[in-house]
Structure 1
Amino acid sequence: MKQSERIGAKIAYIFSHNHRYIERALESYNLKGPMFAFLLTLSHKDGCSQECLARYLKFSKATATRVITTLEKQGYVYREKDEDDRRIYRVFISDEGRGLIPAINSALQEWNDIFLSDLSDEEEQIFRNLLDKTKNTLVEFDRKSSKQMKNNYQISG
Structure 2
Amino acid sequence: MDIQSQPLTRMLSHIVKLHHYSVHLMMEHGEVYPGQPPLLLRLARQEGLSQNELAQQLRIKPATLTVALKRLEKHGVVLRKPDEKDQRISRVYLTDKGRQISQEVREALHQLEEVCFQDFSEEEKLQLRQFLNRIHDNLKDNEKKYSAPDSR
After TM superposition, the score normalised by the length of structure 1 is 0.85
SS in 1 for 2:91: strand
Between the aligned residues of both structures, percent identity stands at 29
Question: Is the aligned partner of 1:20 residue 2:17?
Answer: no
Instruction: Give the Cα–Cα distance (whole angstroms) in 2 for the partners of residues 29 and 102 of structure 1.
Output: 16
Listed as ranges, the gaps of 5+ residues in structure 2 are: none
Q: State whether structure 2 residue 97 is matched by structure 1 residue 100.
A: no
Q: 2-side partners of 1:101 and 1:30: how far apart?
A: 11
Shift of 1:25: 0.7
The answer for the alignment partner of 2:80 in structure 1 is 79
2:118: which partner in 1?
A: 117
Moved more, 78-87 or 15-24: 78-87
Q: Which letter maps to 1:97?
A: G
Partner of 2:43: 42
User: Equivalents in 2 of 1:144, 1:152: separation in Å?
Assistant: 7
The number of equivalent residue pairs is 148
Contact preservation (8 Å) 2:82, 2:89: yes
- Match of residue 62 from structure 1: 63
Structure 1 residues 73-97: Cα deviation after superposition (integer angstroms, max 9, x where no partner)? 1101000111222221111111110
TM superposition shift of 1:116? 1.4
TM-fit CA distance, 1:142: 2.3
CA distance in 1, matches of 2:89, 2:148: 25
Report Cα offsets for 1:101-154 as digits up to 9, x if no partner: 221111101111111122211010110121122112222332343332xx467x
Q: Tell me by how many angstroms 1:29 deviates.
A: 4.5
User: Could you say if the C-alpha distance between residues 121 and 145 of structure 1 is closer, same or farther in structure 2, counting changes exceeding 3 Å?
Assistant: same
Runs of 4+ in structure 1 displaced over 3 angstroms? none
Q: Equivalents in 1 of 2:143, 2:87: separation in Å?
A: 30
Give structure 1 stretches of 5+ with no counterpart. Answer: none
Within 2, Cα distance between the matches of 1:136 and 1:45? 25
Change (3 A) 1:140 1:87: farther
Distance 2:120 2:57 in 1: 30
Aligned to 2:142: 141
